[in-house]
Amino acid sequence: MYDFIFFAGSLPYVKGVSIVLESQCVAPIASCYPPYDNAAHPRPTNGHPVIINFDLNDLQAFRAVVDKGSFRAAAEAIRISQPALSRRIEKLESALDVKLFERTTRRVSLTMVGRAFLPQVERMLDDLDIALMGISNVASTRMGNVTIACVPSTAYYFMPHVISEFHKLYPKIRLRVLDASAGEVSAAVASGEADFGVSFSGSLADEVEFELLLQERYVLACRRDHPLAERADVTWAEAYEHDYITVDKTSGNRFLLDQALRGVRVKKPSICETHHVTTMIGLVEAGLGVAMVPSIAMPAGAHPILVSVPLVEPEVVRNVGLIKRRGRTLTPAALELERLVREKPYRSG
């Protein structure tokens, strides 16, 4: 257990085995208290601090409940039982002598004191994480969880390189990739299930914001032995004259293409519909037909079976970027993952 000591000053710092919190961490909360009882709660004066006994696990439990919005989800996120999580919150509230959460059968929300306490807790935990992650021999032993949500094509393009680099830097931080439809990715970020996401612009939840990473065009995916494989480019109308595979109406790609191709005449229906672009490419490789796919979904470099041909008339592009919940501050580990995603070089298709 750590002793949390409140001194006058500005920033938290680590001293030996104790984490010393200075008065800025509690100043916003003081105005939320009832009149201070100096006999029951003497203030620190002249170098005589008040020692409040709670530990980092209690603060991490507090932030997890805020992030996840429920005790059950928070307990799962930090991998403890729900009763153990409740005990940590009760211990923290008892140590501070305040109520941090309003609890009902349906929801958990912060009290006024909890809302004032939250940014100080986030700052302290993040500053500590940043300090520890900046020490190479400590960074390699840091533990925790980061969740990123991606549509499958971006997971295929970004994540192999990103996961490899992240694991080299932080081998004990558990990384979870949610590969799902654009709507599911948006919902996971909005709900806090994912720290952030990589998806394409379109129908996003109001709670999330989009930041452009790259623009990619749609290409024709076909086998090397297909009649269109040697073409410099192919029109959409020409592509639809061949047996083709498409995504179903629940796919964000389908919605984007339906909007962009309103003026293109389609002479025959697809032979098959799938939910994900990556499944379509597998079917193309098996010789079932051609498919119109985002360029980053195609294999990098020369492929022994598959080839991509630019699609024109019209040229359809897709905006790919980061999506994050509005107002959410990413943890240092999530920020490191975001940095690696940003640094992934773009392969034009």
Q: Would you mind telling me the total number of residues written for the chain in this entry? A: 349
Provide the sign of the torsion angle of the four alpha carbons 310, 197, 123, 77, taken in this order: negative
Distance CA 184, CA 48 (A): 53
Residue among 125, 86, 344, 302 nearest 216 (CA)? 344
239 versus 49: the higher-pLDDT residue is: 239
pLDDT digits (tens, 9 = 90+) for 190-206: 988 899 999 998 778 88
* Percentage, residues of the chain above pLDDT 70: 80
Residue with tokens 């919902």: 187
Q: In what order do the strands lie in the sheet with 3-7?
A: 13-15, 18-22, 3-7, 51-53
Query: At which residue do the structure tokens 């984490």 appear?
Result: 19
CA angle 342, 320, 311 (to 5 degrees): 130
Burial of 1 (0-12, 13-18, 19+ CB in 10 A): exposed
**What is the radius of gyration, based on Cα positions, of the chain?**
26
Q: Tens digit of pLDDT for each residue in 302-340?
A: 899 999 999 999 999 999 999 999 888 888 889 989 999
* Domains defined for the chain, CATH in brackets: 3-133 (1.10.10.10), 138-212+320-343 (3.40.190.10), 215-317 (3.40.190.10)
Instruction: At 253, give phi and psi (nearest 5°).
Output: -65, -40
For 61-119, the pLDDT digits (tens) are: 998 898 888 898 889 888 899 999 999 999 999 888 899 999 887 788 899 999 888 88
Q: Output the six-digit token pair for 52.
A: 């409040």
Cα–Cα separations (whole angstroms), residue 272 to 32, 243, 255, 279, 298? 61, 9, 17, 11, 19
Tokens 């003026």 — which residue? 263
Give me the phi and psi of 178, to 5 degrees please: -95, 105
Cβ(340)–Cβ(168) under 8 Å? no
Residue 269 has a CB neighbour count (10 Å cut-off) of: 10
Alpha-carbon gap, residue 253 to 135, rounded angstroms: 43
